[in-house]
Amino acid sequence: MPVKKEAYHWYASFFYLNLISLSKNVKLYQKEERMINMLDKKVSKLINEQVNKEFYSAYLYLDFSNYYYEAGLDGFGNWYKVQAQEERDHAMLMMQYLQNAGEKLP
């Protein structure tokens, strides 16, 4: 069955518009990728320092948690355990950000 000329033109123009849109998206992605890779070294250093502080806080909270569990105060122990997990989550998010930016982690 032959394809109608109008249908072919519609499909071809639709395909061409999608190709142009895709091309623009690729260019935007490449531009964003270059911007991400240009993370300032001072900012990268500060984020690395913050990652260390977040992990340090998590360890402190775990120590507090253990103290309260040993003292029989399970509610306090659980609360500090939850806080430790939150601090680890913060650190992991910042580490992922640095990895996505192409930065080296300590």
Residues 32 and 79 both lie in one domain: no
> Residue 89 pLDDT > 90, yes or no?
yes
Comparing C-alpha atoms, which of 91, 94, 67, 92 is closest to residue 81?
Answer: 67
Q: Are 81 and 62 in contact (CB under 8 A)?
A: yes
Residues 86 and 52 in one domain: yes
Domain that holds residue 9: 1-38
Rounded to an integer, the average pLDDT of 51-68 is 96
Whether residues 44 and 34 fall in one domain: no
0.95 exceeded by pTM: no
CATH of the domain at 84: 1.20.1260.10
CA pair distance 81, 59, nearest whole angstrom:
10
Does residue 58 share a domain with residue 30?
A: no
Give the rounded percent of residues in the chain with a pLDDT score beyond 90: 48
CB atoms inside a 10 Å sphere around CB 10: 11
* pLDDT tier for residue 104 given thresholds of 50, 70 and 90: confident
DSSP-based three-state secondary structure for 53:
helix
| 44 and 92 co-located in one domain | yes
One domain for residues 54 and 76: yes
Per-residue model confidence (pLDDT) at position 103: 85
Q: How many Cβ atoms are within 10 Å of 4's Cβ, its own excluded?
A: 9
Do both 47 and 2 map to the same domain?
Answer: no
What is the mean predicted confidence (pLDDT) over 53-66?
96
Instruction: Check whether residue 92 and residue 65 sit in a common domain.
Output: yes
Q: Residues 53, 58, 60, 63: what is their CA dihedral angle, to the nearest 10 degrees?
A: -160
Same domain, 30 and 56: no
Scanning the structure block, which residue is given the tokens 């623009």?
Answer: 24
pLDDT at res. 101? 85
Could you give the 3-state DSSP secondary structure of residue 87?
helix
What does the pLDDT look like over 29-57, one tens digit per residue?
655 555 555 678 888 899 999 999 999 99
